[in-house]
Amino acid sequence: MSLVARHLERNGIATIIIGAAKDIVEHAGVPRFLFSDFPLGNSAGKPHEPDTQAFTLDLALKVLESAVGPRTTVQSPLRWAEDGDWKLDYSNVARMSPEEVAKRRAEFDKVKQVALDQRRQAGVA
């Protein structure tokens, strides 16, 4: 996404990236970046919380409109949790029981199979 944003900017289209991988996105040199200190895949807001998602979109549009220069980063004030302990636990296999790991592996394998079936039906696989 960062490379696409840079390409669009070179061609006169303003962009903003909403993301959670601050080090990666800033390294790529995007023109404007709204950083959400949330788990990967959740940078637009908390799942099933349209208010946080609407807030994030509104803030991104404000940053897009008001950024004073290239490589502008603004951090969202929203928090995943009151403290940062979620970062230690979020998808940390070392902190999961073998049963939880097996459950998540089974869920992941099921999703992969659905995707493979869809690709086969479309004649892509």
What are the domain boundaries of the chain? 2-83, 91-125
Placement of tokens 């073998």 in the chain: 98
pLDDT at 69: 77
**pTM recorded for the entire structure:** 0.71
CA-nearest of 5, 8, 59, 56 to 29 is: 5
Handedness of CA 16, 21, 24, 27 (dihedral sign): positive
Handedness of CA 106, 112, 118, 124 (dihedral sign): negative
pLDDT tens for each residue of 61-99: 999 999 887 799 999 999 998 888 878 877 778 888 899
First to last CA, the chain: 25
